[in-house]
Amino acid sequence: MAQPLNVCIATAELAPLAKTGGLADVAAALGAYLHRSGHDVRILLPFYSSIDTEGLTIEPVDFLQEIPISIGSAHGHFSIDTTLVPSLDLPVFLLRCPEFYSRGALYTSADDEHRRFILLARAAIEMCQRMGFAPDIFSCHDWHAALIPLYLKSIYAWDKLFANSKSVLTIHNIG
């Protein structure tokens, strides 16, 4: 194998934790495959209230708690926890922001639905930045994470940590 890659996967679904369709299966399989192949993979998933936490040990990441964020005129905080998902043999980072993700469903028709996934995109970059983790690839899944490439070239363009980062946007179902 060539030199191992640093990969950040940002996804709204991940089997077996949060699944409405094929996105969850593909994101999980990709993360697990890359990890087994020796790459350093960091998956970020919203910590939906619908996730069954039985059997999971969820730990806060000490330096990723109560991170301030502004989305438009709205100001708030988010935190990131981690858990090992046995079926993936891979740690998963959970984006905790109850005002956005404690709604009983992965997707809603709420007026602020777009803000939930703006947060996912921003939090993926913030997480890597605060970890000092320079992804070779940001793997962005569906519209939920589609702003990551834009943010890397605008809001975070100043940060040399991401100077060599590339992004891949995967559309799972265009129909």
* pLDDT for position 172: 86
- Asked whether residue 1 is assigned to any structural domain, the reply reads no
* pLDDT for position 67: 97
Q: What type of residue sits at position 153?
A: K
* pLDDT for position 14: 97
Q: Which of 51, 65, 64, 72 is nearest to 115 (CA)?
A: 72
Longest Cα–Cα distance of the chain, Å, equals 47
**Count of structural domains within the chain:** 1
* pLDDT for position 113: 85
Q: Which of 104, 144, 103 is nearest to 124 (CA)?
A: 144
**Spans of the chain, pLDDT less than 50:** none
Q: What range defines the domain where residue 22 resides?
A: 6-170
CATH code of the domain containing 44: 3.40.50.2000
CB-based contact 80:134 (threshold 8 Å): no
Q: Which of 65, 80, 86 is nearest to 10 (CA)?
A: 80
